Structure formats: structure tokens, C-alpha cells
Amino acid sequence: MLTLPMCGLLKQLFPGVKIGFIGRTYTTPILKVCKHIDYIVNFDELSWFPEEKQLYEFNQFGADAIVHVFPNKKIAQLAVKAKIKYRVGTSHRWYNWLTCNRLLNLGRKNSPLHEAQLNIQLLSAIIAIKTPELSELSAYTGFERIEIPDAKIETYLSKTKFNLILHPKSKGSAREWGIDNFKKLIDLLPENQFNILVTGTQAEGNLMGDFLSNSPQITNLCGLLDLDELITLIAHADGLVAASTGPLHIAAAAGINAIGIFPPIKPMHPGRWQPLGKKVKIFVSDIPCEACRKSNICSCMLAISPQQVAQYIKEKVKSI
């Protein structure tokens, strides 16, 4: 999600440019939605073939340049063998010194920049480019090829209530706000105004068993949607509450109210990972949180009040 603005910016600067995206199987539904991507390469599938076949496919791209946003040694080696003219990578990967001819000293861990800005900086190895301000980046996501809801998705959406998606878990990829806070949030939202949907994987649903079974006012969609369906549901809802997760970024890019709960700890803080969109609201404590750094539980994040979040959501309902 935070690589898509690179594509949009390139399309603006060079309208005739053709952009291919080398991704994984699970990212394909995301990439299909981006209007700036001309073709998608599923490297999970390609990696099963012999190297000769992989190289043949790389040669079919006819690429003039490759930018290694997420370093992968095998892809870097194939780019060399395919004789791609410009091969961009950071100097922080040893194999890039052997495979890239445009190296950038780009360190991410301690950078004050957002992840999407850091990605765009890679382009400076081949073109003169000014890194956009964070507020400008949402204009470049191109997250527009969204499916119309089918009958299945329509059954979950209300035509009279504010459709609010809660995504409490993160598959361990981010600090979480806590089930208790989500439960308190639900209790603060009038049932006659809100259609509350809870999303997540089946495994996450199992972890939230008591929460889901004891909250009759919610619709449990854990494990019931593939990523294509989840994107469609999110795009046609009114709001989503989550920690620093993929669904939060999808909600922001789709233009709905994306409400994120973040820790203030670098590099997990919103300055680095906040979603890109015009209706993004971030809740983050403004107190030092270093004591939580070595823990999986962030007390500063847990302390963010459900009342604060509920009040913000209620104001959004009034504005509709």
C-alpha cells in the first residue's frame, strides 16, 4: 500500500511510462485495484519455475529500470541476467553491491520520513525528483479499480446505519489496542445508528471468541472474506477502526474514515506508518513510551480512551 504512491508519481511525471509490479500472491488483490499498475508479476508463482523460465519471463517485460523497494536477492540476480539497464537498490544489502548499478545510501530505521516517502526517494537514483510532503501522497495511490459489492457483500452493509468495521487484531505485525477497548467502544456507539462489522482471519476470530460471542450487536466476519471481498467491503463501508494494519491502509486509500490507533514508539509511530488518505484520523499518546519498547503490549496505546474514539466517530455520523 505504501509503495503505490511511487507508481502514481511516476505516471504524473512520465504519462507514457509502463509500470510493472513484482509482488506476492497475497498482494495481488491490492495491486489489481491500483490504476497506475499496468501489469503484475506474481513472484510466488514464478519462483516455482526453473531459472531459465524465470529469466525468460523477466526478458518479456522489456524493462528499462527496476527499483528494489523490498530487497530480494533472487529478483536482484534475475534483473542482472535480464540485462535491465538501471537497477536501483540501497547500499545496505551486500548483494545489491553485486547486482545493482544505482546504489542509494538509504537507511530506514532512524529516518524521520514516512515509509512512502522513503520508497519514493529510491527513484532519485535514476530521475531528479522532489520527495512530496506527507499530505500530498494520498493523491498518488490510484486505489480506484474497486469492485461493486455483490449480493454477499450487500447483505453485510446497512443502507440506514453508519457501517463501521472494527479490525481488532494484527496477526502480530503491530501493537494492538486491546479487545477490552474495542468492547467498550461498541458499548458507547448507539445500536440504532451503527452497523458494526468485525473482520479478521479465522485464527484471529478464534482468539476473539468470547468477545465475538458476547457482543450480539456485531456481525462477525472473521474468516468469511477473501482479500478481494474485504477490499470491496471496506471501500463501501463508512469507517474502520484498527491498529497499524493492512485494512487500515486500505480504508484510507479507499477514501472512507480510517481511524488508526498507534503507539508513539519509533519506528512504529504514525510518522513512519500512518495510512494515506483524506479521511485519516490517528490516535496516539503524546507521552514517552520507551518503557514499552521491549514488550509486546504498549500501555501508552492501551491508555487511549474508547470515549475519545467514540466521540470522533459520532461526529462523523453527524456530518453525513
Please, are residues 46 and 57 in contact by the beta-carbon 8 Å criterion? yes
Write the pLDDT tens digit of every residue in 240-253.
Answer: 999 999 999 999 99
Please, are residues 250 and 175 in contact by the beta-carbon 8 Å criterion? no
Higher pLDDT, 161 or 61: 161
Q: Tell me how far apart the alpha carbons of residues 28 and 24 are, in angstroms, rounded to a whole number.
A: 7
Angstrom CA distances, 299 to 208, 215, 290, stand at 20, 25, 10
Return the axis-axis angle of helices 73-81 and 51-61, rounded to nearest 10°.
Answer: 70
Q: Tell me how far apart the alpha carbons of residues 248 and 259 are, in angstroms, rounded to a whole number.
A: 7
Q: What is the pTM of this model?
A: 0.95
Angstrom CA distances, 7 to 53, 102, 141, 143, 301, stand at 27, 19, 8, 11, 33
**Domain positions in the chain:** 4-135, 153-319
Q: Virtual CA dihedral for 203, 306, 166, 284, nearest 10 degrees?
A: -90
Sequence-ordered list of residues with C-beta below 8 angstroms from that of 16, at least 6 positions apart, any chain:
none
Model confidence band, residue 117 (pLDDT cutoffs 50, 70, 90): very high
Least confident of 159-163, 261-265, 304-308: 261-265
Q: Which grid cell is 57?
A: 519471463
DSSP state letter for 57: H
Mean pLDDT of the chain: 93
- At the topology level, CATH places domain 4-135 in Rossmann fold (3.40.50)
Question: What is the 3-state composition of the chain as percent helix, strand, coil, each rounded to the nearest 5?
Answer: 40, 15, 40
**Alpha helix stretches (DSSP H) within 133-273:** 151-156, 179-188, 202-207, 209-213, 227-235, 246-254, 270-273
CATH for the stretch 153-319: 3.40.50.2000
Please, are residues 52 and 158 in contact by the beta-carbon 8 Å criterion? no
Least confident of 30-44, 81-95, 282-296: 282-296
Write the pLDDT tens digit of every residue in 65-105.
Answer: 999 999 999 999 999 999 999 999 999 999 999 999 999 99
Angle, CA 226 vertex, CA 5 and CA 231 arms, to 5°: 35
Q: Which residue has the cell 494494519?
A: 245
